Amino acid sequence: MTSKERFDLTVNHRQPDRIVVDFGATSVTGIHCLAIENLRKYYGLEPKPVRIVDPYQMLGEVDAELIEIMGVDTIAARGKNSSFGFYNHEPLKEFHTPWGQNVLVPEGFRFINDEKGDVLIYPGGDTSADPSARMPEASYFFDAIIRQLPFEEEDLDPQDNLEEYGLVTESDLEYWKITTQKARDSGKAMVAGLGGTALGDIAHIPGMKLKKPKGIRDVTEWYMSILMRPDYVKAIFERQTELALENFTRLHQVIGDKVDAVFICGTDFGTQDSTFCAPEQFDDLWLPYYRKINDWVHSHTNWKTFKHSCGAVESFMPKFIEAGFDIINPVQINAKGMDPEHLKKIYGKDLVFWGGGIDTQITLPYATPEKVREEVLRLCGIFAPNGGFVFNTVHNIQANVPVQNIVAMINAIQEFNGKT
């Protein structure tokens, strides 16, 4: 059975020959570049600088050699530009990270080191603008710099929070045509981040790709706006959804059904032990727009729709189903109420669980390799029956996870799949 065939069975809740495995197909199922380098060393692969595919989180490319070793069934069709707005592909250059690793980044990755040794990066690679994100010297990824401009309440215009959204160009269409065909030729299941459907994803609110972001760009102010300015938020979501569906229409004419799944939205609705908002707020602010997007996708394409939300979102699972999502990620099994057996029993016929294969807060970084193995085997045993499960960790694998534990996880997946 090919990766594509295996994936098709899985996302349609039918039993494949083995568990589908994803590492690196999305910005929330990836591996930090340092962990990638450690894996390559462990497996005795030729030393080379790791290619950065997500500069914001410093995620590394899971290249063809690791895809083979790790048994990966998925591949990313990545967007043209990075979160910082610069072209995120070749030509590449070397960058020496604060932790001492040489990696490959796009030419537009332009930065300075401040007096503290922090790395400051520029929107669109434009060093004449104010930097839009900071990587502290002791950190392993960037944090957005909040550049909220003062505003008067009566002057707020939803269009200001839509500055980074627009219709795809002919150049964009040609890019996606080539990119999706290349990914399709790999024989893997393809996940595309087509963009434009963030709907309040907090990673996008600060406008890191914009030189002078207008509107509500402070994270705290945005969360307050959900309660204080719901009409403003709705106006943003309404227009964003209109643009997204027009773009999907144009994109589908070019890429057709080469794509297997589309990353729709990364807005988090959960904390460690609760939800960010009440169900009534979800129904009012998000549900109508998610429904429009998912309905269009399911009416016009064979794509499956991928929703990311961290945290304790068990109570929102019926909402995600009502909204029309096919896939939920990262399945944060250590959050309150996110019991794997309960999730599989109650929601496993309607939602594909993409993630939840191992806890990344405690087990993967801090447990012994044997404990890692035990947890992977236990969780696979819960989620795998009758399809509807794509193995991934609970969010990205971070920089300093012991390589022995990552290898123990990989071996346990293969053990469950009957390869060892």
Question: The domain spanning residue 32 has which CATH number?
Answer: 3.20.20.210
Order across the sheet with 111-113: list the strands.
111-113, 119-121, 133-135, 143-144
Name the domain count of the chain. Answer: 1
Structure tokens at 223: 């969360």
Structural domain includes residue 203: yes
Structural domain includes residue 113: no
pLDDT at 419 over 80: no
pLDDT at 420 over 60: no
Length of the chain: 420
How far is residue 398's CA from residue 283's CA, in Å, rounded to a whole number?
A: 34
Strand (E) or helix (H) holding 413: helix 403-416
pLDDT tens-place string over residues 296-320: 999 999 999 999 999 999 999 999 9
Structural domain includes residue 95: no
pLDDT of residue 179: 97
Tell me the residue range of the domain where 291 lies. 3-88+148-416
Contact of 39 with 403, CB cutoff 8 Å = yes
Rg (CA), the chain: 21
Where do the H-state alpha helices sit in 256-361?
279-285, 287-300, 317-323, 340-347
pLDDT tens-place string over residues 161-191: 999 999 999 999 999 999 999 999 999 999 9
Q: CA-CA distances (angstroms) from residue 419 to 18, 71, 202, 239?
A: 10, 10, 40, 49
Structural domain includes residue 124: no
Structure tokens at 32: 């930090």
Structural domain includes residue 243: yes
Structural domain includes residue 44: yes
Supply φ then ψ for residue 396, to 5 degrees: -65, 150
Contact of 80 with 88, CB cutoff 8 Å = yes
User: Could you tell me the pLDDT band of residue 124, with boundaries at 50, 70 and 90?
Assistant: very high
pLDDT of residue 91: 97
How far is residue 229's CA from residue 213's CA, in Å, rounded to a whole number?
A: 19
Residue closest to 298 by CA, chosen among 317, 324, 259: 324
Structural domain includes residue 279: yes
pLDDT of residue 122: 98
pLDDT tens-place string over residues 32-84: 999 999 999 999 999 999 999 999 999 999 999 999 999 999 999 999 999 99
Structural domain includes residue 127: no
